[in-house]
Structure formats: C-alpha cells, structure tokens
Structure 1
Amino acid sequence: MNLKKAMLAAALALGLAAPAAAAEKFSVGYDIYFGGNSWSVQLYKEFEAEAARQADTVDVTYTESELKVDKQIANIEDLLTKGVKAIIVTPISPTALIPTLKKARAKGVKVVLLASKIRSQDYDALVTVNDEDFGKAGAEWLVKALNGKGKIIALNGISGISASDDRWAGAKEVFAANPDIKVVSAVDASWDYAQAKVAVSNLLAANPEIDGIWSQGGAMTLGAIDAFDAARRALVPMTGEDNNGYLKRWVALKDKGFTSVAPSKPTWLGSESLLVAIKLLKGESVEKNTIFPPPMITDANVASIVRTDLSDSFWSNTRLSDEQVRAAFKD
C-alpha cells in the first residue's frame, strides 16, 4: 500500500472525513474582438488582470477576431467545441452572432456580452455603459457651448457596432431638439486618429465655417485638433473621451481657451464581465443588463484625472495598476 492510500485508510479507520478534492475550475472563453486601438487593448488587459486575480476559480481560453464577423463566429464555435461553460464576447455585429449565441445557450453555456449589444435577448448578461447617454452628454454640452447655434461636424466610430450607433442616436436626439445646430457632416472615422484628421481636413477645406466638433472618440478628437491647426483655423469647442493622450492635449490647450468634455466608457468593463460570468456559473442571481452611467470628465476636473506620467495610450477609468498599464503601453 502506498503512502497516500495508507493515510486515507488511517483517516477512515479513525472516523475522519477523507480530504476534500480541489474545487474544479470554471472553463471560460474570452474573445478579443479587436486589437487595433488602445481602448480595445486595455479592455482585454482589464479582463486578463481579473482572470489572474480569479486564477483559482477560472481557466480562460482566448480567441481573437480582428474585427471580422466571420472570424468571431468561428471563434465562438471553436470555444463551444472545447467545452467552455461561459463565453464573454464583444459582438462585432448586432445580428450576425445571434444564431451561434442561441446554439451556445441551448448547450447550457452562459453568454456574457461585453461593451456591445445584439438585437435579441439571446444572452445571459450584458455589461456596458449607456452609450445613448454618452452621446447625449457630449451633444448637450456642445449645444450649450455654442449657445444653441452653429455648424458642427460629427465623428462616429464604426457603423453597425452598437456603441457607435447608440452614441450617435443619443446625440442626434439632442441636435434634433436644437434646430439651430446644423450637422454639416457625420462621418465614420473608426475611432482612429488618422481617419478623423483626413475627414476633418477635407470638411474644413469645403466649409469656411465650422463652429464645433461632436466626437465619440478621444483619438478622433486629437485628429480634429491637428486638422484645425494644419488649416490654421482657430480651435472650436470639441467633445472627446478619457484617452490620456487627449486629456494631456486638452490640459495643454486650456490656457488658449480650448474647452471640452469627455464622456467615458471605462475599460474596467472587461474586469466586470468576468465577475458577472463567475456569478452566473455559480448560480447566483445576476441582472440581465448591467448598464453603468458614463463617467464624465469636464474642464473642472480634467487636471486631476490626466496622468502625465503614463502613456498617451492609457485610458483613465481603469482597475489596472500603474505597473500593468506601463507593461501594456510602452510608448
């Protein structure tokens, strides 16, 4: 008899309980929907950091979809084949994933949507902010900054992704209620600096009067600022986001009269999505829709939020440590 069996036999002879087996970990699949901008990278890093904190509870299998719908569907199918018990996904399309998510739930797999919605109820939990309120907040601020009158440019993300569509829907509602605000053009710039700079440069060349910029992304607002500088046009009120590079520029321009506001979609949603998934897997009660209000950065508090010691790529609403941020963004 080996030592382990001997110890077990002795324990049973003494009427003692056998040692408890180690608790089985939950198998979770996480799809990195995009790695092409710093917000999506930090969203993933927030999840990864939470997974490390929950290492005794979960085993995570990662996939990456590169903003391709067909690849995201294939990734979810692959996760199902591997037998995961929960899938956390940021839907690239509001409709294309629905049949696959239905299949997952039919197998008993918990589905958590992170930061983006689908046009059905085929999920167990949604973790996001109210993107319509995000859009409204920036639009209301811009209307007030322009005293209710002026010509503006709107910079959207990517049509078809719920975050972009919902933000623009919220903003349009505000602008429709203020008919003296004229939207000269609403363009998709993919939350990208270079695309926004080109779009705004072209619109400035065609429009001698632009009074404001409604932007749903910090990098896009930086592109707009640089387009105004290149065209030698005076800066106008612009909305932004909580990207550290944008916050640094905002603070640097305040003495020149630049004014802004930054609704935020915290990257810590990535961390929160795993905590919600664990509750579901434990059979605990979870709200189907966990929708947070967008935190706001204003002229009054931006100086206390900007981090001049951290990368321009950093996003201010985080659960990451400074060390984790520096490891993720080395610029």
Structure 2
Amino acid sequence: MTWFSTNRKAAPVALVSALAMICLSSCTSAAAPGSTDPAASGQCSKVTALVNDVQNPWNATLAQGMTDQATKLGVNLTIQNAAGVISTQTSQLQQAVTSKPDGILLQATESDGLVPAVKIANRSSVPVVTVNANVGQGADVVTFVGVDQKDYGIALAKLVEEALPNGGNVAVIQGVVGNPVEIDRTEGINETFAANPSIKVVTTVTDSWNNADNLAAVQDLLAKYPKGTLDAVVAEGPEMYVGAQYAASIGRNDVKFIAGDYPLEVKAAIEAGHLYGTILQDGATIGARSLDDLCSHITGKSVPTPTDFIDLPSITSKNVATFQTSWHW
C-alpha cells in the first residue's frame, strides 16, 4: 500500500448541508451597483451567494467565511452551489435577482459567459460583488474581492526561482484550463519565466486541480524526464502535494515541487521536505471581506474599488511554523 493520498477530500457533509440555505427574509432594495456615488443607505439583511463549486474544499472555506461573517452581521444568507456548471450558475443568478435580495456575492464559474446574467442584476439595481473569480467586461460590479490571480502566478514563479537560484528546467501544471483563475495564474507564471533566461519551461500539462490527475501528471513527467533533465514542477493548486509525495517515495529528490494554497496536507508536505513551498490564499478571509464590502455598499459606506485585494504570502520551510491552517484537500 502506498502512503500518499490520491483522493481529494470533499467538503464535510455537515458543512455543505449548512451552507445550502441559511435563512430567507424580506429586505430593502439597494442602489445601482458600480456607481461612483455611495449606495443609498439601506439594510443589508438578505444576501445570496453563488459559489462555483462548494464541494471543492477551498471553496468550502470561502463559503464558511461568508457564513461566519453573516452570523456576526445578522445577515440572512443563502448560498447556492453551481457545481462548476456555468448554465447552472447563470440560472441561479437570474433566479436570485427575481427573489430581490439586498445584494449578490458571485464566485464566477466563467468570466465572459456570466456577463449577460450580471447585466440582468444591473438592470434590476441589485448590487453584485465578485469573489475570488471575476467576470468579464460589460458587467457592472461593486468591487472584486480576492487576490490578484496574475500576482498569484507571479508569486508561484518567484518561488521556483528561489528554489532554483542557478535556473533550470521547469514543468508547469495548470488547473482547470479556461477557468478565470487558471488563465491569470498561467499568465503570471509565463511572464515571469519569460523574463528569466535561466529558466526553461520544458512542458505544460494540466491536472484540473485534482489529486488523482496530479499524481498521473507527475508520474508521466518523472518517467519522461530522468534525473538531471527536470529541476522543478510548479502546480497552480494544492494538489501538488500528492505528486511531491510520490516523487519522494521513489527517490526523485532532484526535483523541487511548488504548490498553491495551504491546506493541512500542503503544510505537512512542506514540513516533511517534499514541497519546497506554496502561496497562501486565505479563503475564509476573502469570504468574510466580500460580505463586509457588499453590506458597506448597501448601507452607503465606501468600498475599495475596483478591487479589494488581500495579501499573498509565500510559505516555505523557513516560515511554515508561523502560518496555521485547518482545512483539508
């Protein structure tokens, strides 16, 4: 029996059930979103959050952050799960507008495809705050809360450069190709490496942010590139810990592995020396701040626009003891 995991842990059933619906009540309507003038002062009492896929453990932390903040603020919050399907999320957004919430939190399944649905919210004067994954041009949103995903990709590439001070051959593992987050992270990685002649990207593959696919990708990479021909592998998500554990189990300590995000498994892999490092993107903080910003807008307070970014610290063996985490991937 191998000791490394290949199955990503789903969000706890109790959490998913609790997030399915947290209360409905009447509410006052908000001012038009995206206006340069403050929103008309009103009550932030009824909010709908549309999450890309709540079965994704990181998205579950995002939703939990929204839920915890809703409890603190006394907001009746409904969370709907699109399961990664844009047609589902489009329908959910249209139905949410019909229910006349004070506002909508939207983690987009697709950037450009959701623009028409957001425009429906705009015409109905329902403010929309985008969270973690933004929508394309033409849609009017109050602000985007999350991280600069291109900066995230740059930070991943910088970790590779730190791990390989003399340069080397690097493989890039993308997440879900076409997802707004993947597009921006890949752009940041590619631009950073393009400016560094000591780094050569020998191949780009995908694992769709999936543990089993990451393992398969790493197995293929290590079979194709024997010792001395591959120096680092960087993935755009936390699933990289699986491939890194596999590499350690077969003695491929010649390759440095870099992950994204910080579940307990990534923390343990850094402590064990299997992963060189990762980038911390705190989902709970993003979820809480998104509701804060939406309610601030609804009640006439100022909100950072057009973006409200949180920090992206890098974590390696040098500082891993400083950063705690509590979620699984």
- Is 2:43 the counterpart of 1:39? no
Residue 206 (structure 2) aligned to one of 174, 188, 195: 188
Structure 2 Cα separation of the partners of residues 109 and 280 of structure 1: 11
- Is 2:79 the counterpart of 1:79? no
Residue 230 (structure 1) shift? 5.0
Structure 2 Cα separation of the partners of residues 144 and 311 of structure 1: 27
Residue 233 (structure 1) aligned to one of 252, 256, 280: 252
Residue 29 (structure 1) shift? 0.8
Residue 311 (structure 1) shift? 5.4
Change (3 A) 1:175 1:102: same
Change (3 A) 1:278 1:233: same
Q: TM-score, normalised by structure 1?
A: 0.80
Residue 234 (structure 1) shift? 2.2
Matched residue SS, 2:129: strand
Aligned twin of 1:17: none
Letter matched to residue 210 of structure 1: L
Change (3 A) 1:81 1:274: same
Structure 2 Cα separation of the partners of residues 197 and 222 of structure 1: 9
Percent of aligned pairs with the same amino acid: 24
Structure 2 Cα separation of the partners of residues 135 and 176 of structure 1: 13
Aligned twin of 1:140: 158
Contact 1:204 1:231 (8 Å CA) reproduced: no
Aligned twin of 1:218: 238
- Is 2:169 the counterpart of 1:151? yes
Contact 2:269 2:275 (8 Å CA) reproduced: no
Aligned twin of 2:45: 26
Residue 247 (structure 1) shift? 0.7
Structure 2 Cα separation of the partners of residues 35 and 231 of structure 1: 34
- Is 2:175 the counterpart of 1:175? no
Give the structure with higher Rg (CA): 1
Structure 2 Cα separation of the partners of residues 180 and 249 of structure 1: 27
Matched residue SS, 1:83: coil
Matched residue SS, 1:185: strand
Q: What does 1:64-103 correspond to in 2, within 5 Å?
A: 64-103=81-120
Structure 2 Cα separation of the partners of residues 50 and 107 of structure 1: 26
Structure 1 Cα separation of the partners of residues 162 and 303 of structure 2: 39
Contact 1:167 1:216 (8 Å CA) reproduced: yes
Which digits, 9 at most, give the CA deviation of each residue in 1:101-131, with x for residues without a partner? 0110111100100001122152111101122
Contact 2:166 2:198 (8 Å CA) reproduced: yes
Matched residue SS, 1:183: strand
Letter matched to residue 81 of structure 1: T
Letter matched to residue 153 of structure 1: A
Matched residue SS, 1:96: helix
Change (3 A) 1:145 1:108: same
Residue 197 (structure 1) shift? 0.7
Aligned twin of 2:11: none
Structure 1 Cα separation of the partners of residues 168 and 294 of structure 2: 46
Residue 36 (structure 1) shift? 3.0
Letter matched to residue 26 of structure 1: S
Residue 242 (structure 1) aligned to one of 250, 253, 262: 262
Contact 2:94 2:120 (8 Å CA) reproduced: no
Change (3 A) 1:116 1:24: closer
Structure 2 Cα separation of the partners of residues 32 and 153 of structure 1: 31
Structure 2 Cα separation of the partners of residues 246 and 259 of structure 1: 8
**More divergent stretch after superposition (136-145 vs 230-239):** 230-239
Contact 1:94 1:160 (8 Å CA) reproduced: no
- Is 2:290 the counterpart of 1:273? yes
Residue 299 (structure 1) aligned to one of 299, 311, 317: 317
CA RMSD in angstroms comes to: 1.9
- Is 2:171 the counterpart of 1:161? no
Contact 2:286 2:310 (8 Å CA) reproduced: no
Contact 1:218 1:243 (8 Å CA) reproduced: yes
